[in-house]
Amino acid sequence: MNHETAAIIVAAGRGLRAGGDLPKQWQMLGGRPVLAHTLDALRAGGIARLVVVLHPDDMGRAANLPLHGAQLVAGGESRSASVRAALEALAVDPPQHVLIHDGARPFVPARVIAAICAALKDAQAAAPALPVSDALWRGVGGRVQASVPRDGLFRAQTPQGFDFASILAAHRAHRGAAADDVEVALAAGISVQITEGAEDNLKLTYPADFARAERFLHAKRTDSMDVRLGNGYDVHRFGPGDGCWLCGVWVPHMRSLQGHSDADVGLHALSDAIYGALAMGDIGQHFPPSDPQWKGAASDIFLRHAVTLATEMGYRIGNCDVTLVCEFPKIGPHAGAMRAAVAGIMGVDQARISVKATTSERLGFTGREEGIAALATACLLKN
């Protein structure tokens, strides 16, 4: 993390051009407020010290943000006044450099931040921009009046970076409004170096921008998703008894499954599927049958352990599918209860769990009713 540089996130505006009942920085994007994504982006860019400028009426909304120690400052009547308030708050313990960023730019790439910070080693100020590539017109009343040369024109972005003492002095001296902090810096005679911007660093202003941002967020999540698949297979023979545990449910039967634990063949196969997806071996490696403490153990212990291990490694359950292979007992009447039991053990929605059965057409050991086999597949996801 860069501890010599602080960042100010300006989010005190009331602009409603984006539509909806809330200012754009508080509208939902991918199930979270826009401002939450902006905070994440600055941290991903290596900035540890953050100041968030909010409208006084919005302070209560901050509970929905991943602040993690970020300082809150009440904004002023204009953007310049809001930035000034944040700079004065930082002046109590001034950083060497400060980045000033619009709260409605939620996807600023880390490389853009890195380029600004690198430029600030030699420059008083640096700001990202993209060259204007489209033809430019000047129009009146919906009609083109003239073409405008685009040579030397850039589309300005944020964050804009500055030597802290210089931009603080510039804001203290500035009178009136300013489009951005580069304008304030130029008015104070500060030279601003242009660094490379990014098309990803879009600014949310209109409803169409939110639709574009949702598409970008979906693509980003898809590209960065880590998908793991694992399969498991287990077999237990029948022996004396009056029923057996199958996928966490006691099923009455004229015989019982035999094993070191409770012999729940379904949970064993599913546990092994999760261990396999994690490349972490199988039940026997985590719970050796030679260890007497596991004799007669309930198999939900194994499955819970596999799920906990997946969670600790940053994965969540996408879905699981278990197939029981047997002639008897009949699984259909119990399949719903089995799905519910497995979902409860794993702590996931039942809609993510499938339990079904098939016979082997009287072929092999399952066809001779000597035992039950189970196959399982587990899908693990990480963003």
**Ordered domains of the chain (ranges, CATH):** 2-223 (3.90.550.10), 226-382 (3.30.1330.50)
Please tell me the predicted confidence (pLDDT) of residue 2.
Answer: 62
Mean pLDDT of 284-295: 92
Mean pLDDT of 158-172: 98
**92-134: per-residue pLDDT in tens?**
999 999 999 999 999 999 999 999 999 999 999 999 999 999 9
Three-point CA angle 276, 310, 107, nearest 5°:
120
Query: Which residues, at least 6 apart from 214, have a Cβ–Cβ distance to it below 8 Å?
Result: 29, 30
- What's CA 130's distance to the chain center, in Å? 28
1, pLDDT greater than 80: no
Is residue 274 very low, low, confident or very high in pLDDT (cuts 50, 70, 90)?
Answer: very high
CA distance 41 to 234: 45
Please tell me the predicted confidence (pLDDT) of residue 225.
Answer: 77
Mean pLDDT of 274-279: 97
**Is 194 in contact with 96 (CB distance < 8 Å)?**
no
342, pLDDT greater than 70: yes
Please tell me the predicted confidence (pLDDT) of residue 220.
Answer: 79
**49-70: per-residue pLDDT in tens?**
999 999 999 999 999 899 999 9
234, pLDDT greater than 80: yes
Neighbours of 312 (CB within 10 A): 9
3-class SS letters over 133-173? CCCEEEEECCEEEEEECCCCCEEECCCEEEEHHHHHHHHHH
332, pLDDT greater than 70: yes
**What pTM was computed for the model?**
0.62
Nearest to 31 by CA among 168, 171, 218, 156: 218
383, pLDDT greater than 90: no
**Is 375 in contact with 272 (CB distance < 8 Å)?**
no
Please tell me the predicted confidence (pLDDT) of residue 346.
Answer: 94
15, pLDDT greater than 70: no
Average pLDDT over the chain reads 94
Please tell me the predicted confidence (pLDDT) of residue 204.
Answer: 95
Nearest to 74 by CA among 93, 95, 61, 57: 57
CA distance 367 to 345: 30
136, pLDDT greater than 80: yes
Is residue 21 very low, low, confident or very high in pLDDT (cuts 50, 70, 90)?
Answer: confident
47 DSSP β-pair partners = 2
314, pLDDT greater than 90: no
